[in-house]
Amino acid sequence: MSKVTLTVNGVKKTVDVSPDTVLLDLLRDTLHLTGTKQSCDRKGQCGACTVIVNGKAVRSCLRKVVDLEGAEVISIEGLGTPDNPHLIQEAFVLAGAIQCGFCTPGMIMAAKVLLDANPNPTLADIKKALAHNLCRCTGYTKIVDAVRLAAQFVRGETTPEAVRAAIPDKPLGVSHPRPSAMQKACGLAKFSADYYFDNALEIACAHAFANYARIKSVDISEALKMPGVVGILTEKDMRGTNRVREAITDKPLLMEDMVRSYGDPVAIVAAETRAQARAAAAAVKIELDVLKPMMTMEEALAPNAPQLHDWSPNLISTTPHIHGDAEKALAASEYVVEASFSTQVNHQAPLEPEVTVAYLDGKGDNAELVVIGRSINIHSNAAQLAESLNWDKVRYIEAYSGGQFGQKSAIITEAIAGAACLHFRRPVRYVPSLAESFFLSPKRHPYTMTYKMGADKDGKFTALWADMYINKGAYYLLGPLTIGRTIHMLSSAYKIPNVWASCKLYYSNNASGAAARGAGPPQSNFAVESIIDMLAEKVGMDPLTFRKHNSLKPGEERSTGAKVDQFEFPQLCDIIEPHWKRAKKDAADFNAKNETVKRGVGLGVHAFGIGGAGDSGTVTVEMNPDDTVTIYGAIADPGEGNDSMLTQITAHVLDIPMNRVKLATRDTVNTVGMGPAAGSRMTYIGGGALQNGVEQMRKAMEEAGSKTYEGLKKAGKPVSFKGIKQLKKGNWNPETGQGDSNESLVHNIQMAEVEVNTETGEVSVLKMTTAVDAGIIINPKVVEGQLEGGMDQGIGFALREEYIHGKTIDWKTFKFPTIEMMPETEIIFQETPRPNGTLGGTGIGEMTMISTAPSITNAIYHACGVRMNHLPASPDKVKEALAQKK
């Protein structure tokens, strides 16, 4: 150990450290300055740990403390507080640059160093300064806006007070800063890994590194002898079922006799430190009889393929979707195109790993197991954990979540931490490495698709035929969700009178598929929008004109047989038309002057279903003695802005200041069920339940002639109201894929402008323009942030990202999009009130993710004449396609 003296946030510290201790660990584990975050495995790839050392931006995971004698260190906590924030923290809050907030401290520290040296930075300067800082939520646009606003503050051109004063004094339709934003900007929002307890154990899992194998033996003897190890659990030591209840409980928490997917956990190691736990986990000897894996459709569905699970053949299900007679209509069509498409295994990539903390509150069999995780509502958490762990007293607390996007839809790490806590009777922290997170978590399903589409002589769609194979991976998890959404939204914004589709779900040894932003439509809609472009070319019609020509109209049927009562898509086509004409001309002018680099423009469309049949939510609204109003409900907010939505709806309906609204949404002690913050449902369902509750409170206020607690009490009125949103049950026919599936639709048409280097195959997205109608918008900046983030994820899905078992182990191998890839964005809102929406609004989180990939691949074709039907459209694939074209 060595003594090192350094100054941290203006305070001199003398610390004893080992030669390998990095600054990140000193700040977090020793000084408990937890605003500095860790995402990557100390490889300097994420920038979340950025601090300032001697005036320079430093990734603290790379800097050893022994090298910092006499150094001046500033972490996010030393920059400002909510009561006295730094100008840059103010700018990030006011610009809407904060969603989940996990990356925010590192971004702010990097921006501070930039603006100290250069108070008038260019876009290129900002991108260079933040090149090491990753963000999955925002798409970087609002972050750039924040740095530019901060620069204005620094130069004295305006002030935070002036910017706040310009915000209209009304709740609805106004870009108010998120209630949680300043806490996140100051590094005070507590994520799961920020909870520390005395006498806590750190745990790690021993994993089996094979795609498919029989477990012959698990030898923990040597690992038990290692320093700091308290104990090791295998499947024989697990309480309860050793499973978490899903649709099908085919995934053990700890493997029993088989390994079906790379990295399956086999043992839990508990030790005094994380390093000791991980070292001992690596020393657990797992003897395997390695079998030939089934990774592809052909391998998994071969006649002699081994059956992966006892309960089902590898072909789990075939789900039909039949509307009219597609075969007959195609045979009679004037124009028909056919093509095959595929999408890759895609990781959702929130920056925060699936950290879980668990402890016991009380003693003996009456103790309550308290689990601190990331999403209170996705799981019916407490009930599922109680069953899994055979412990009926379970409380779930949601920490701030560093993004989600569907990845954290399973409660595997919560159950693992809970099992260790109950066994060892000590608090437990489970902090998976990023590499562990990659193989622990479910992914986006890869699809293999063959589509046929027809049109008549007038260019009207006649039929769509779609045969889809969906790679479930090794475990079932949320299988029906993806199939249902694929079918419900297959015909998108179009009138297609005849549709035949089949979704075949099959097991493989691939990573398990589950929820991922969009969950099904990003894959199927990629094929729909691609083949529509191909058909437009064959018909000889402009792609935009062709889409508008085939739009649904009010009173007409979607391919599910459900009629639409309103339909705003044709107006969106009109809105995008001048942008489309301008972009085509720009591309033609550029291409006339350039040989190697070519530009193109493409479209993508989606009509996304909101409000699934039978969905429901409940909240409680309560007036407090100090006249504040508290919202109780399990409404998670992993970054999409539900705190703003709840606050602004309440203030609008009750006509009270927003600072009178409080939220109690993170603890099962005082919340009621709501379902997941997924499927873009929370404004529609959670917000709808809230609207019902606050309208009851408003009526009581009007009858009492008072908006105060005392006034309601004196008038004999209740001060607590239950708000409910209950959608009618659908009439879905699983034999035909027909029936009502969603109560409302949101629409967008998206345009990508790209540049293709025909020598290297490199594709750059120059600009994304989207015209959107999602009803009445509660907070424009929040909605813009969702759209920009969705476009960024769609760009990664289209061009770069692919998860490969055993090879994708960090953000570099995943090819995470950086700020340097950020395109220009333009968002155009059309607000058509939805009759059943929350104050006329719906949800927006997934839609632009869905339409981004086809807009880009269609633009690639327009640029250089090659169809990229198999994602991702990586440089090697584009280059190969161009070579084949020659």
pLDDT, tens digit, 9 for 90 and up, residues 612-621: 888 888 999 9
- What is the distance between the alpha carbons of residues 532 and 284, in angstroms, rounded to a whole number? 54
Q: Please indicate, yes or no, whether residues 712 and 766 belong to a single structural domain of this protein.
A: no
Look at residue 298 and tell me whether its pLDDT is greater than 80.
yes
Other residues' Cβ atoms within 10 Å of the Cβ of residue 795:
28
Using an 8 Å Cβ cutoff, are 45 and 30 in contact?
A: no
Strand order of the β-sheet with 258-259 is 258-259, 213-219, 285-290
Single out the catalytic residue among 72, 824, 846, 880.
846
Look at residue 380 and tell me whether its pLDDT is greater than 80.
no
Residue 328 belongs to some domain of the structure? no
- Please, which residues bridge with residue 455 across strands? 335, 461
Q: Please indicate, yes or no, whether residues 718 and 741 belong to a single structural domain of this protein.
A: no
Listed residue (336, 333, 325, 391) closest to 358, CA to CA: 391
Q: State both tokens at 372.
A: 């601190």
Integer-rounded Cα Rg, in Å, for the chain is: 27
Q: Please indicate, yes or no, whether residues 744 and 879 belong to a single structural domain of this protein.
A: yes
Look at residue 247 and tell me whether its pLDDT is greater than 60.
no
Q: Which residues contact residue 127 at a Cβ distance below 8 angstroms, ignoring those fewer than 6 apart? A: 144, 819, 820, 822
Instruction: Report how far apart, in Å, the C-alpha atoms of 227 and of each of 2, 223, 224, 230, 418 are.
Output: 21, 9, 8, 9, 23
Residue 730: predicted pLDDT: 79
Q: Please indicate, yes or no, whether residues 863 and 843 belong to a single structural domain of this protein.
A: yes
Q: Where are the beta strands (DSSP E) in 305-362?
A: 315-323, 335-342, 356-361
Residue carrying the six token digits 């479209």: 603
Using an 8 Å Cβ cutoff, are 774 and 745 in contact?
A: no
* CATH number, domain containing residue 29: 3.10.20.30
Q: Please indicate, yes or no, whether residues 536 and 432 belong to a single structural domain of this protein.
A: no
Which residue has better confidence, 636 or 673? 636
Listed residue (445, 449, 504) closest to 477, CA to CA: 445
How many residues make up the chain in this entry? 886
- What is the distance between the alpha carbons of residues 470 and 312, in angstroms, rounded to a whole number? 16
- What is the distance between the alpha carbons of residues 295 and 503, in angstroms, rounded to a whole number? 18
Residue 569: predicted pLDDT: 94
Using an 8 Å Cβ cutoff, are 685 and 652 in contact?
A: no
Residue 141 belongs to some domain of the structure? yes
**Phi, then psi, of 449 in degrees rounded to 5:** -135, 140
Other residues' Cβ atoms within 10 Å of the Cβ of residue 340:
12
Other residues' Cβ atoms within 10 Å of the Cβ of residue 103:
30
Q: State both tokens at 874.
A: 């990586």
Look at residue 378 and tell me whether its pLDDT is greater than 60.
no
pTM of this prediction?
Answer: 0.96
User: In terms of DSSP H, where are the helices of 613-739?
Assistant: 642-654, 687-704, 709-714
Q: Express each pLDDT in 334-345 by its tens digit.
A: 999 999 999 999
Q: Where are the beta strands (DSSP E) in 333-456?
A: 335-342, 356-361, 368-373, 394-398, 428-430, 447-455
Residue carrying the six token digits 């006339």: 592
Q: Please indicate, yes or no, whether residues 249 and 367 belong to a single structural domain of this protein.
A: yes
Look at residue 876 and tell me whether its pLDDT is greater than 60.
yes
- What is the distance between the alpha carbons of residues 837 and 822, in angstroms, rounded to a whole number? 33
Q: Express each pLDDT in 300-317 by its tens digit.
A: 999 999 999 999 999 999
Helix (H, G, I), strand (E, B) or coil at 155: helix
Residue 566: predicted pLDDT: 85
Residue 519: predicted pLDDT: 85
Which residue has better confidence, 201 or 667? 201
Q: Name which of 69-73, 376-380, 425-429 the model is least confident about.
A: 376-380
Angle ∠(695,701,706) on CA atoms, nearest 5? 150
Q: Is 169 exposed, middle or buried (0-12, 13-18, 19+ CB in 10 A)?
A: exposed
- What is the distance between the alpha carbons of residues 754 and 512, in angstroms, rounded to a whole number? 33
Residue 886: predicted pLDDT: 77
Residue 674: predicted pLDDT: 76
Element (DSSP H or E) covering residue 231: strand 229-233
Listed residue (600, 873, 558, 582) closest to 747, CA to CA: 558
- What is the distance between the alpha carbons of residues 273 and 191, in angstroms, rounded to a whole number? 19
Instruction: Report how far apart, in Å, the C-alpha atoms of 317 and of each of 251, 472, 491, 503, 846 are.
Output: 18, 11, 22, 8, 26
Using an 8 Å Cβ cutoff, are 212 and 291 in contact?
A: yes
- 151, 168, 189 - which closes a domain: 189
Q: State both tokens at 37.
A: 């975050």
Residue 297 belongs to some domain of the structure? no
Residue 307 belongs to some domain of the structure? no
Q: State both tokens at 712.
A: 């309601």
* CATH number, domain containing residue 465: 3.30.365.10
Instruction: Report how far apart, in Å, the C-alpha atoms of 166 and of each of 160, 161, 593, 650, 790 are.
Output: 10, 9, 45, 22, 28
- What is the distance between the alpha carbons of residues 206 and 33, in angstroms, rounded to a whole number? 30
Longest dimension (CA), the chain: 84
Q: Express each pLDDT in 94-145 by its tens digit.
A: 999 999 999 999 999 999 999 999 999 999 999 999 999 999 999 999 999 9
- Please, which residues bridge with residue 81 across strands? none
- What is the distance between the alpha carbons of residues 610 and 132, in angstroms, rounded to a whole number? 37
- 671, 693, 726 - which closes a domain: 726
Q: Please indicate, yes or no, whether residues 753 and 826 belong to a single structural domain of this protein.
A: yes
Residue 463, CA atoms < 13 Å, CB-side half-sphere: 26
Residue 309 belongs to some domain of the structure? no
Name the CA dihedral angle for 770, 776, 778, 784, rounded to a multiple of 10 degrees: 0
Percentage above 90 pLDDT, the chain: 83
Which residue has better confidence, 755 or 477? 755
Residue 379: predicted pLDDT: 46
Instruction: Report how far apart, in Å, the C-alpha atoms of 517 and of each of 158, 445, 482, 797, 867 are.
Output: 38, 11, 11, 11, 25
* CATH number, domain containing residue 146: 1.10.150.120
Q: Express each pLDDT in 169-206 by its tens digit.
A: 999 999 999 999 999 999 999 999 999 999 999 999 99
Q: Please indicate, yes or no, whether residues 463 and 571 belong to a single structural domain of this protein.
A: yes
Q: Categorize the per-residue pLDDT at 385 as very low, low, confident or very high, splitting at 50, 70 and 90.
A: confident
Look at residue 11 and tell me whether its pLDDT is greater than 60.
yes
DSSP structure class, residue 176: P
Q: State both tokens at 416.
A: 């693992």
Listed residue (508, 500, 567, 571) closest to 327, CA to CA: 500
Domain that holds residue 621: 615-726
Residue 688 belongs to some domain of the structure? yes
Q: Categorize the per-residue pLDDT at 248 as very low, low, confident or very high, splitting at 50, 70 and 90.
A: low
Q: Please indicate, yes or no, whether residues 456 and 565 belong to a single structural domain of this protein.
A: yes
Percentage above 70 pLDDT, the chain: 98
Q: Name which of 257-266, 508-517, 777-786 the model is least confident about.
A: 508-517
Residue 381: predicted pLDDT: 56
CA 642 to chain centre: 14
Q: Which residues contact residue 695 at a Cβ distance below 8 angstroms, ignoring those fewer than 6 apart? A: 653
Q: Express each pLDDT in 533-571 by its tens digit.
A: 999 999 999 999 999 999 999 999 999 999 998 899 999
User: What is the rounded end-to-end Cα distance, in angstroms, of the chain?
Assistant: 65
Q: How do 50-53 and 56-59 pair as beta strands?
A: antiparallel
Residue 382: predicted pLDDT: 63
Using an 8 Å Cβ cutoff, are 247 and 480 in contact?
A: yes
Q: Please indicate, yes or no, whether residues 870 and 796 belong to a single structural domain of this protein.
A: yes
Instruction: Report how far apart, in Å, the C-alpha atoms of 279 and of each of 147, 206, 274, 617, 736 are.
Output: 41, 10, 8, 45, 54
Q: Categorize the per-residue pLDDT at 42 as very low, low, confident or very high, splitting at 50, 70 and 90.
A: very high
Q: Please indicate, yes or no, whether residues 457 and 594 belong to a single structural domain of this protein.
A: yes
Using an 8 Å Cβ cutoff, are 819 and 127 in contact?
A: yes
Does residue 753 carry a catalytic annotation?
no
Using an 8 Å Cβ cutoff, are 642 and 682 in contact?
A: yes
Q: Which residues contact residue 347 at a Cβ distance below 8 angstroms, ignoring those fewer than 6 apart? A: 407, 438, 441, 443, 444, 801, 803, 808, 814
Is the bond leading into 432 cis (omega within 30 degrees of zero)? no
Total domains present in the chain:
5
Helix (H, G, I), strand (E, B) or coil at 407: helix
Q: Express each pLDDT in 447-480 by its tens digit.
A: 999 999 999 999 999 999 999 999 999 998 877 7
- What is the distance between the alpha carbons of residues 584 and 569, in angstroms, rounded to a whole number? 21
Which residue has better confidence, 382 or 882? 882
Residue 103 belongs to some domain of the structure? yes
Mean per-residue pLDDT over the chain, rounded: 94
Residue 156 belongs to some domain of the structure? yes
Instruction: Report how far apart, in Å, the C-alpha atoms of 325 and of each of 231, 328, 332, 556, 687 are.
Output: 63, 6, 11, 17, 40
Q: Express each pLDDT in 256-296 by its tens digit.
A: 999 999 999 999 999 999 999 999 999 999 999 999 999 99
Q: Please indicate, yes or no, whether residues 94 and 63 belong to a single structural domain of this protein.
A: no
Q: State both tokens at 492.
A: 């998108």
Listed residue (410, 422, 305) closest to 361, CA to CA: 422
- 162, 189, 216 - which closes a domain: 189
* CATH number, domain containing residue 270: 3.90.1170.50
Q: State both tokens at 502.
A: 């089949």
Q: State both tokens at 26.
A: 């000193």
Q: Express each pLDDT in 573-620 by its tens digit.
A: 999 999 999 999 999 999 999 999 999 999 999 999 888 888 888 999
